[in-house]
Amino acid sequence: METFQRFEKKYLLNEEQFQQLNEMIRPYVEPDKYYQTDIRSVYYDTKTFQLIRRSLEKPEYKEKLRVRSYGDAKEEDRVFVELKKKFDGIVYKRRTKGNCEEVMKDIRHSDLKDPQVAKEIQYVLDLYPDLHPMVYIGCDRTSYVGKEDEHLRITFDRNISYRMKDLSLHSSKKDKVLTDDTVMELKIADAMPLWLTQILDEVKAYPRGFSKVGTAFLKEVEGVRS
């Protein structure tokens, strides 16, 4: 079982901001264990997109269920099943593993590795009986960890794509570009270090609520252009 509890802040960076910031943080960070990853995620929701709609309203509490792999997943591969909750600005993530073919075919009856996390996931599935795969999101992620603070993690997501049909943990020619910008996410256990605050001010990068799956929903379902 993997459990995470932390503050998360997102930033949307244009190419110039990304290049500047990526260079300026180098003295303070180092590549983490999974420095460069190719992320594939399938998000579950109701037919009316109940979870995404609620998330876009920015409530005090929200949750999401997704299946994730690092690179295209084969049927026999192990994939991550993640339950992510956010309450009062703090993100809690519960994660376990399952067989890709079983999970994607029927998550409700798949054999998840951790019994406790499986119970929590089953509770959400029971709460929303018609949850099923609704949105695919793919991206290339570069990750850093603080040299002096192992709880500080900085990720850059680029080449972000999405689709809402033929859902699987594979990229597809049907994928669409979600945004040309880079999504930077800061994950911190406590206060942000002063050096990082100064760098963000210098490149004029400011926190911005940005949901990949929410943006995909707005583009495809609501017809909103970013």
- Tell how many helices (H) and how many strands (E) occur in the chain: 6, 9
The pLDDT assigned to 23 comes to 96
CATH topology of domain 2-220: mRNA Triphosphatase Cet1; Chain A (3.20.100)
Q: Which helix (H) or strand (E) holds 213?
A: helix 212-220
The pLDDT assigned to 225 comes to 57
Query: Angle at which helices 194-202 and 15-24 pack, to 10 degrees?
Result: 150
Reported pTM: 0.91
187-226 burial string, b = 16+ CB within 10 Å, else e? Answer: bbeeeeeeebeebbeebebeeeebbbbbbbbbbeeeeeee
Q: What is the pLDDT of residues 196-212, one digit of tens each?
A: 999 999 999 999 889 99
> Which among 156, 182, 180, 172 is positioned nearest to 40, based on CA atoms?
172
Distance CA 201, CA 204 (A): 5
Q: How confident is the model at residue 64 (pLDDT cuts 50, 70, 90)?
A: very high
What are the helix (H) ranges across 87-175? 100-105, 115-127
Q: How confident is the model at residue 60 (pLDDT cuts 50, 70, 90)?
A: confident
Is-contact 139 39, C-beta < 8 A? yes
Question: What SS3 class is residue 100?
Answer: helix
Is-contact 210 181, C-beta < 8 A? no
The pLDDT assigned to 114 comes to 92
Q: How confident is the model at residue 6 (pLDDT cuts 50, 70, 90)?
A: confident
Comparing 168 with 226, the larger pLDDT belongs to: 168
Q: How confident is the model at residue 222 (pLDDT cuts 50, 70, 90)?
A: confident
For the segment 140-147, the average pLDDT, to the nearest whole number, is 96
Q: What is the pLDDT of residues 147-162, one digit of tens each?
A: 998 889 999 999 999 9
For the segment 34-58, the average pLDDT, to the nearest whole number, is 94
Is 163's pLDDT higher than 60?
Answer: yes
Comparing 122 with 225, the larger pLDDT belongs to: 122
